[in-house]
Every structure is written in structure tokens, then in C-alpha cells.
Amino acid sequence: MIRVLLVALASVFVLNSCEKSSAEIESEVRDLWLQNLQKEHVTGVNVLDVSLVQKSDSLYTGVLKTKEPEGTFLYNLEVTRAGDQLSYEVIGDGIQTDGRNTHEPDDQPVESDSLHQ
């Protein structure tokens, strides 16, 4: 009986250790966003932040913040995870912000994964 319990506990530990962290998923969403911009030949967009909250095993919601030629924008996202595959959907339009109502200023240094002209 103890052996069965130990095997069950080890299985749960192994399954949980394979789960991706929120930070890893946020990084993947950032990469997917930038890949889509490149496919669409969009330039001059910097990804400033991706912040997600896990709603269920396969669903995350949150925001993506960008610096664009027209200003700083927040996009509401819904991210779905199916195994190792991630997909995201932008909910509504981007919301232009002046940076004062977010945790990061508009003059934040450009990150290395930004797209430039």
C-alpha cells in the first residue's frame, strides 16, 4: 500500500514538474506576438510587457503592453494551452494609454526582442 502511494506521489510530482510556469508562457506569447508582426511586415513595435493570470489548466487571460509609433497600447489577451501548443486571441481593440495608469513608464528602454524599421 505504501509503495502504491509513493508511486502515485512520484507520478504527480513528475507531471507537475513538466508544467510550464506563467513566466514561460508569457515569454512564449511575447515571441508569438513578435512572429506574427514579422509575418505581417509590421515594424516599429516594441513589446514592453506581457502579464497573464491562469484561469484554468488550459486558459490564461491578461494584457500585452506595446510601444508603437502612435503611442503605448494595452491589448487584452486570452491564451489557450493545448499540450505544448499555445494560441492567443486579442479581445477587443488595443487601448491607447499614456503610461501613467500602468506599472511601466512610456520611456522604458527598448528590449532586445523589439522590431525596428
What residues does 68 pair with on adjacent strands? 71
* pLDDT, tens only, 25-40: 999 999 999 999 999 9
Q: Taking 50 as the threshold, does the pLDDT of residue 17 lie above it?
A: no
Domain spans of the chain? 20-97
Q: Are 116 and 43 in contact (CB under 8 A)?
A: yes
Reply yes or no on whether the pLDDT at 50 is more than 90.
Answer: yes
Is the pTM for the entire model greater than 0.85? no
Task: Give yes or no for a contact between 64 and 74, defined as CB atoms under 8 angstroms apart.
Answer: yes
Is residue 6's pLDDT more than 90? no
Report which residue type is found at 36: N
Looking at residue 7, its pLDDT comes to 36
Q: How far apart are CA 24 and CA 30, in angstroms?
A: 10
